[in-house]
């Protein structure tokens, strides 16, 4: 081979090697776990797009009416959770139970009963039902003095266990741009026994135009308010329980619940904790005012309602208000403790005289709290 042609071959070989190297080097990118350090970001929570309705809704034109009812025997009132505005628990033998909840859905979009029923049926792996079939399953019911629809979804829900079929009875009432769902759900036997009590309960429900929390207007406060928080339960702090307080089981949102009662009436103390600011002081003050039938205050005035309280390791805010709930004079004393990105709520609520008598013990209790990682 001539020296010139061997030089050319070498050139050619080098070019091929270069090409192969290039492709191999770049061919196996992005398939490994990588680790990198980045500067702390401001918590850029998703900021919703501004909506044209915002200004309109801030005026509170669609505020949620306040509900009043008569509690059937054996029903225990629960703290509202998730999207519900009221909740009740019925305990039965063998740990069986059923729950009643009241869920307002803003807008008429939720009033399509067939859609709602079919969502439930689909979840249970059942065929959707037609309008005809649905009309047969629907019975009229009175909610207060308004007529509404009641659907019994027996068999349309997956069995909680082999032996006990769960059952849902749902009453739906579209009213003033809000669709109200009254749901009785739980163990089949309990639901069957409580259905008539549920229907009677519905008759006692009245809607009062009130300053209650609007699902639309107060959406920011509501979305962050404790009632709708779904964070995991933080570790429970230690505390000294005052004499006469009795710990009782609470709903899953609560860290602890205590009951106090005497001949005049009863009161309860609840402890809960939520991530972040939990809606802020003003939103919570107005939420509580709403519960006591008091009109909401402007954010500035609401904050003036709070006084400062010394607790272990810092300052807390104390609010005290008296109003009316369930037809009796009710007093609410609450302490808000912001601490390491969490907000702790201590609430004493109940018959005015009992709550007044327990207030000192309540404050002492809050001041005795030692947090898990303090």
Residues 70-129 that bind other proteins (CB under 8 A): 82-84, 101, 103, 105-110, 116, 119-120, 123-124
Q: Which stretch binds other proteins (CB under 8 A): 178-186, 286-294, 347-355, 364-372?
A: 178-186
Nearest distance from C-beta of residue 182 to other proteins, angstroms? 10
- What distance in Å separates the CA atoms of residue 192 and residue 213, rounded to the nearest whole number? 33
Which residues from 311-370 bind other proteins, rule CB under 8 A?
A: none
Span near other proteins by CB under 8 A; candidates 47-55, 70-78, 255-263, 291-299: 47-55
Q: Is 38 exposed, middle or buried (0-12, 13-18, 19+ CB in 10 A)?
A: exposed
Minimum distance from CB of 157 to other proteins (Å)?
Answer: 5
Within 10 Å of residue 372's Cβ, how many Cβ atoms? 9
Restricting to residues 244-273, name those near other proteins by CB under 8 A.
none
Shortest CB 327 distance to other proteins, Å: 28
CA nearest neighbour of 225 among 180, 285, 271: 285
User: CB within 8 A of 180, min separation 6: which ones?
Assistant: 102, 103, 104, 105, 143, 172, 173, 174
Number of residues that bind other proteins (CB under 8 A): 71
Residue 177's contacts (CB-CB under 8 Å, 6 or more residues apart) are 62, 106, 107, 108
- Residue 162 as a binder of other proteins (CB under 8 A): the answer is no
191-220 residues near other proteins, rule: CB under 8 A = 215-216, 219
According to CB under 8 A, which residues from 7 to 46 bind other proteins? 8-9, 11-12, 15-16, 19, 22-23, 26-27, 30-41, 43-46
Query: Nearest Cα to 225, choosing from 64, 345, 363?
Result: 345
Which CB, 12 or 248, lies closer to other proteins? 12
| Nearest CA-CA partner of 332 in 279, 374, 293 | 293
Cβ distance to other proteins smaller for residue 22 or 71: 22
């Amino acid at each position: 081979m001539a020296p010139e042609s061997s030089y050319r071959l070498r050139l050619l070989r080098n070019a091929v090697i270069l090409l192969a190297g290039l492709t191999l080097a770049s061919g196996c990118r992005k398939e490994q776990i990588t680790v990198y350090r980045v500067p702390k970001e401001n918590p850029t929570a998703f900021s919703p797009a501004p909506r044209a309705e915002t200004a309109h809704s801030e005026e509170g034109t669609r505020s949620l009416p306040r509900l009043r009812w008569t509690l059937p025997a054996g029903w225990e009132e629960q703290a509202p959770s998730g999207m519900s505005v009221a909740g009740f628990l019925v305990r039965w033998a063998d740990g069986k139970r059923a729950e009643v909840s009241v869920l307002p859905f803003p807008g008429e979009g939720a009033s399509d009963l067939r859609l709602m029923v079919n969502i439930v049926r689909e979840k249970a792996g059942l065929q959707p039902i037609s309008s005809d079939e649905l009309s047969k399953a629907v019975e009229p019911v009175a909610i207060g003095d308004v007529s509404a629809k009641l659907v019994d979804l027996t068999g349309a829900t997956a069995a909680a266990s082999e032996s006990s079929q769960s059952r849902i009875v749902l009453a739906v009432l579209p009213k003033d741009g809000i669709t109200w769902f009254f749901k009785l759900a739980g163990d089949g036997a309990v639901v069957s026994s409580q259905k008539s009590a549920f229907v009677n309960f519905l008759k006692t429900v009245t809607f009062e135009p009130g300053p209650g929390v609007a699902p639309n207007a107060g959406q920011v406060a509501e979305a962050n308010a404790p009632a709708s928080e779904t964070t995991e339960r933080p570790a429970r702090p230690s505390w000294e329980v005052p004499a006469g307080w009795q710990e009782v089981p609470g709903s899953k949102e609560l860290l602890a619940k205590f009951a106090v009662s005497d001949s005049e009436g009863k009161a309860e103390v609840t402890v809960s904790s939520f991530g972040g600011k939990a809606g802020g002081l003003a939103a919570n003050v107005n939420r509580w005012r709403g519960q006591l039938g008091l009109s909401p205050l402007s954010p500035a005035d609401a904050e003036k309602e709070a006084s400062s309280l010394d607790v272990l390791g810092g300052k807390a805010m104390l609010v005290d208000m008296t109003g009316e709930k369930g037809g009796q004079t009710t007093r609410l004393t609450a302490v808000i403790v912001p601490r390491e990105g969490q907000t702790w709520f201590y609430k004493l609520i109940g018959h005015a005289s009992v709550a007044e008598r327990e207030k000192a013990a309540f404050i002492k209790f809050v001041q005795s709290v030692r947090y898990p990682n303090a």
